[in-house]
Every structure is written in structure tokens, then in C-alpha cells.
């Protein structure tokens, strides 16, 4: 038995889950970087809805459902549940979004490194995401 993403002409399971449960989460408190040409993708934002409306919660519930369905059989199975993180966009629900003040989190030493002797693509990506100007 194979589970995976539906074909493009099929419905979006996460969207169906949101509708079935009456969730209409929104995204607020967006940070998108400083590149004016790249303002459509959040680096991080508040997922303004219950934790149960987050994609990660949905993926975990779907994985649990598959485990329950397949674990009673005699055949071994493999399940790969692909969670979005830990990369952007980070859409965080409360109470986690406000749990820590970003000013209290020390900056990692590598954050201020230069791109000397590094692949050029790294500096290009930094500019694309609007992270270079601070």
C-alpha cells in the first residue's frame, strides 16, 4: 500500500482537513526580509489559529492514522512523515510564537561570517531573502 501526495487533479488533504474542522488560520506578524522583490514568502510569522490547524499537526495526525492502519498486519512497513521545518517559512502558533523574545536569543557566531572563500551562491541566497542588510 502506498501513501503520498495526491495527484495534482485531486484535492488537497490539508485543505480538506481545515474545512472539515472549521479552521480558518491566518498569518500575521510576518517577517519577509528586506528584499523588495521577495515579499511573498515569510521567513517567520504567527500562525493565527489553534495548534491543531498547523500543517505539522495535520502531518502528525495523518502519520498516526497510517501507523494504526498498517501496524496490525503481518508485513513490515516504512513510514516517512515529512514535516516542513526546521527551515523557513516558520509559521508558529501561540503560545510558542510569544514564548521567547528574539532579542533574548543569542546570535549564532556564524551569522556574521563573511562569504570569503565560500561558494558565490551563498551570498546570492542571502540577498534574495533580504538578509544581508541589517
Write the secondary structure of 50-104 as one string of H (helix), E (strand) and C (coil).
CHHHCHHHHHHHHHHHHHHHHCCCCCCCCCCCCCCCCCCCEEECCCCCCCCCHHH
pLDDT, tens digit, for every residue of 34-51?
Answer: 777 777 777 889 999 999
Residue 19 has pLDDT above 80, yes or no: yes
Q: Where are the domains of the chain?
A: 13-128
Residues of the chain with pLDDT > 90: what percent? 38
pLDDT, tens digit, for every residue of 65-89?
Answer: 999 999 988 889 999 998 876 777 7
Residue 99 has pLDDT above 90, yes or no: yes
Report d(CA 76, CA 70) in Å as an integer. 8
Amino acid at each position: 500500500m502506498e501513501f503520498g501526495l495526491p495527484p495534482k487533479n485531486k484535492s488537497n488533504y490539508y485543505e480538506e482537513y481545515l474545512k472539515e474542522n472549521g479552521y480558518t488560520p491566518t498569518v500575521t506578524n510576518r517577517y519577509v526580509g528586506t528584499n523588495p522583490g521577495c515579499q511573498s514568502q515569510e521567513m517567520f510569522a504567527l500562525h493565527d489559529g489553534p495548534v491543531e490547524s498547523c500543517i505539522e499537526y495535520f502531518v502528525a495526525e495523518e502519520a498516526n492514522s497510517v501507523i494504526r492502519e498498517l501496524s496490525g498486519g503481518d508485513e513490515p512497513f516504512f513510514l516517512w512523515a515529512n514535516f516542513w521545518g526546521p527551515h523557513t517559512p516558520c509559521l508558529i502558533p501561540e503560545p510558542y510564537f510569544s514564548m521567547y523574545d528574539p532579542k533574548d536569543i543569542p546570535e549564532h557566531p556564524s551569522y556574521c561570517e563573511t562569504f570569503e572563500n565560500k561558494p558565490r551562491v551563498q551570498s546570492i541566497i542571502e540577498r534574495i531573502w533580504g538578509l544581508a542588510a541589517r
